[in-house]
Structure 1
Amino acid sequence: MFGRKKKTNDVASDETLSDGPHPENLSKAQVKRATRTRKTFALMTSFFLLISIIFLILVEIGCTYNRAVLRDIYFLNLDLSHIIPASVPNAVLINTIAQTVGLHDFYRVGLWGFCEGYLNQGVTDCTKPQTLYWFNPVQILLNQLLSGASIALPTQITDVLDLVRVVSHWMFGLFLSGACLVFLMIFLTPLSVYSRWLAFFVSIFTFLAALLITVASVIATVMFIIFQNRAANAGSDINIEASIGTEMFVFMWIASAFAILAWLIQMGLCCCCASRRDVKRGKKMGSKKAYDGHVPDMSEKPKRRFGRKKT
């Protein structure tokens, strides 16, 4: 009796296990449906990186050409329209004081160059894009002064030129490298659907992209705010007004924020949401909707051995 009962229980157990599909026998459609949540987050990561690269492109092309949108995207606007103090006789009768000595009224600084113009005309010209560009107001002003004219810039501005040159080179390299890496990761992040190891390697490069962009944004913010403050504290001998470009700073920080969000999601995929490799090997089940109500038996994990499989 005991033997027969045991045999009956074994048969019943086998029938119970056969009700649900084994992880190794799942179809491709079932595996894809089981990992749909992971795919959604992977595509969300790509979408966030796409938003980041769009704003990075705007940062890159700001002040490169004299066009409607590009000329209004700048890091710093240097206003020289009242460079001669009002204490000078008849200074108030001059419409634009800077033009009397051969200068433009304002200069707008971008990543690849600068634009210049007059208050009554707007931007008139932009320099040719230059690799590793850095804004040197002393050289620009000296090159544009009329013959015999001279302007002594305050030491608050000239003292920081060496620092501006070095920091500008770093900022240029970081922004360009970050943009290239973000563009590449847009197409690589969907690979994290297949396994957590792929998600881990993708998250490393996503982190590097977010780090490059964020560090470049911090450098730009600190450098141009310092430049603005130095111009404001230049003294009463010369009137130079400097203002930060709101659009440029908003664009670069939006790019940084979305790159960081993409990295955080990618880090979450390293441990959360079943990958296709997990579902095939029975490590994780994924979405139950993929099994048509028959939950697979995860207790018997497939044994991987060298040589022939024992039956």
Structure 2
Amino acid sequence: MAIFSRPTRSPETPAPSTSISTTKDDPPPAYHKPRPTGLRLLTATIYLLATIFLILVEIGNITNNPVIRSTWFLQINLANIIPASVPNAIFINSIAQSIGLHDFYQVGLWNFCEGYNGQGITHCSKPTALYWFNPVEIILNELLAGASITLPIEIVNVLSLIKLASAWMFSCFLVGTILTFLSIFLAPLGFSQKPRWEHKAKRIFFRQFPITLLTFAALLFTAAASVIATVMFVIFQQKVSTASDLNIEAYLGKPMLAFMWTATGLNLIGFLMQIGTCCGVCCCTGRKKAERRSRGAYTPNMAEKQSTLSSRSPGSFGFRRRGKQ
């Protein structure tokens, strides 16, 4: 009599079978939704860099410190304000400082700084919200008593445009910086893995749409501020450089332009990534493709083998020991 023997099953007893049921909403057991950790880190890094560049724009030219003093929108050079064609122009320019004029004036988002070519920046005005650069008022206020200077009409006519555009530029840069900073923490949530029971429409309207709207607003305000600043100071540079009677030079700040347009480009990349994620949630092409592959892997033969293996007893794989009769 065998002590360990395989249990016998009567022919009438049907073999237990296991059915693999998959629904449309729930992926099969073989499907594992990937965790988008890399996308979350990439998105946070993109908006972190954009925030750093926008902060450099915000603090540019407010103090006489390295990097900050070299970040400005526009610099006006008055060192050679009298043209060389005028008799004794060199002598007149040498005494220009004695009547209160500085060699250069440079403009930032909050204030302006002034100084001399040999000494550098000597004074920066107090940072002011919604600041706009008025060279006529600054120069006339700094002239000594009894001194006067006639500025070209081209500069006077463009002052109204500068005042209006500066207010919009200041507001857009400030709002764009705040929204970009918020996107560091909120934008990666658009790539987070959600439970299976959550409905697609709920994820789109309560998670993807607000985050996409936030990144679009950050891009919109940053791009608008960059466009306004570029157009305004390019026009101002042309008006100053082509002014008659006086030899005034104007230069655009390349570091400032590079910072603000780099931040705009980074915000654009982050927004496009959110758009791609929103489209992926709406279409679910990647998930459906993975589910089809997973369901295709469960063929009838595989189901039959799995049911056979599950029906065996724990000792069915042991050796049968034959005893004495």
Q: Indicate the residue corresponding to 2:212 in structure 1.
A: 203
Q: Indicate the residue corresponding to 2:313 in structure 1.
A: none
Question: Aligned-pair distance for 1:285?
Answer: 6.1
Question: Aligned-pair distance for 1:221?
Answer: 0.4
Q: What TM-score comes out, normalization by structure 1 length? A: 0.78
Q: Indicate the residue corresponding to 1:263 in structure 2.
A: 271
Cα distance, 1:145–1:273 mapped onto 2, change above 3 Å: same
The correspondence for 1:251, drawn from 249, 259, 279, is: 259
Q: Indicate the residue corresponding to 2:44 in structure 1.
A: 46
Q: Indicate the residue corresponding to 2:34 in structure 1.
A: 35
Matches within 5 A, 1:129-278: 129-192=127-190, 193=192, 194=194, 195-197=203-205, 198-235=207-244, 237-272=245-280
Cα distance, 1:243–1:273 mapped onto 2, change above 3 Å: same
Question: Aligned-pair distance for 1:41?
Answer: 2.3
After superposing the two structures, state which structure 1 stretch, 57-66 or 185-194, moved more.
185-194
Q: Distance in 1 between matches of 2:297 and 2:186?
A: 31
Q: Distance in 2 between matches of 1:285 and 1:43?
A: 25
Q: Distance in 1 between matches of 2:72 and 2:239?
A: 18
1:234 aligned partner, one-letter code: A
Count of matched residue positions in the alignment of Structure 1 and Structure 2? 272
After superposing the two structures, state which structure 1 stretch, 189-198 or 169-178, moved more.
189-198
Q: Distance in 2 between matches of 1:169 and 1:109?
A: 14
Which consecutive residues of structure 2, in runs of 5 or more, have no partner in the other structure?
Answer: 1-10, 195-202, 299-325
Q: Distance in 1 between matches of 2:38 and 2:249?
A: 49
Q: Distance in 2 between matches of 1:250 and 1:227?
A: 19
Q: What root-mean-square deviation, in Å, do the aligned CA atoms of Structure 1 and Structure 2 show? A: 3.2
2:84 aligned partner, one-letter code: A
CA contact (8 A) 1:210 1:256 kept: yes
Matches within 5 A, 1:95-106: 96-106=94-104
Which consecutive residues of structure 1, in runs of 5 or more, have no partner in the other structure?
Answer: 289-293, 300-311
Q: Indicate the residue corresponding to 2:287 in structure 1.
A: 284
Secondary structure in 2 matching 1:70 = coil
1:76-102 C-alpha deviation (Å, 9 max, x unpaired): 000011112224433224664531321
CA contact (8 A) 2:28 2:295 kept: no
1:261 aligned partner, one-letter code: I
CA contact (8 A) 1:81 1:97 kept: no
**Larger of the two Rg values belongs to structure:** 2
1:251 aligned partner, one-letter code: F
Q: What TM-score comes out, normalization by structure 2 length? A: 0.75
1:93-129 C-alpha deviation (Å, 9 max, x unpaired): 4664531321110001000001111000111121111
